[in-house]
């Protein structure tokens, strides 16, 4: 998990899909999901550290899946727009 390559992003995508599939709640309490905060933090670090034009498709697909949590839209937008400003 430390390298955060394509497999890492596929793992995130499938992890979030699994949560949606097996959650009995209409609105998922993300902060109560084990490991979610750690995965989200590491994903946000990847978004910040990589150049936007170098985002692999797996990272983009993982971010789309994570955006099912509407609170992340502002955070993702801020990170990406900040990256674009400096490229």
pLDDT tens-digit series, residues 11-47: 999 998 988 888 877 778 888 888 889 989 999 998 8
Q: Is residue 54 part of a domain?
A: yes
Question: Which residues, 6 or more positions from 40, have their beta carbon under 8 angstroms from its beta carbon?
Answer: 66, 72
Q: Is residue 42 part of a domain?
A: yes
Q: Give me the domain span that covers residue 13.
A: 6-85
Category of 42 on φ-ψ map: left (φ > 0), alpha (ψ -120 to 50) or beta: alpha
Q: What does the pLDDT read at residue 84?
A: 76
Answer yes or no: is pLDDT of 2 > 70: no
What pTM, to 2 d.p., does this model score?
Answer: 0.80
Q: How confident is the model at residue 87 (pLDDT cuts 50, 70, 90)?
A: low
Average pLDDT, the chain: 85
With 0-12 CB in 10 A as exposed, 13-18 as middle and 19+ as buried, what is 59? buried
Q: What does the pLDDT read at residue 9?
A: 93
Q: Is residue 18 part of a domain?
A: yes
- Provide the domain count of the chain: 1
Question: Which residues, 6 or more positions from 3, have their beta carbon under 8 angstroms from its beta carbon?
Answer: none
Q: Is residue 1 part of a domain?
A: no
C-alpha gyration radius of the chain? 13
Answer yes or no: is pLDDT of 74 > 60: yes
Q: What does the pLDDT read at residue 23?
A: 80
């Amino acid at each position: 998990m430390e390298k955060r390559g394509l497999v890492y992003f596929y793992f995130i995508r499938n992890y979030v899909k699994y949560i949606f599939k097996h959650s009995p709640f209409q609105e998922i309490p993300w902060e109560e999901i084990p490991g979610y905060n750690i995965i989200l933090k590491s994903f946000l670090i990847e978004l910040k550290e990589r150049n936007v034009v170098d985002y692999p498709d797996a990272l983009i697909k993982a971010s789309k899946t994570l955006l099912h949590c509407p609170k992340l839209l502002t955070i993702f937008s801020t990170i990406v727009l900040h990256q674009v400003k400096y490229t």
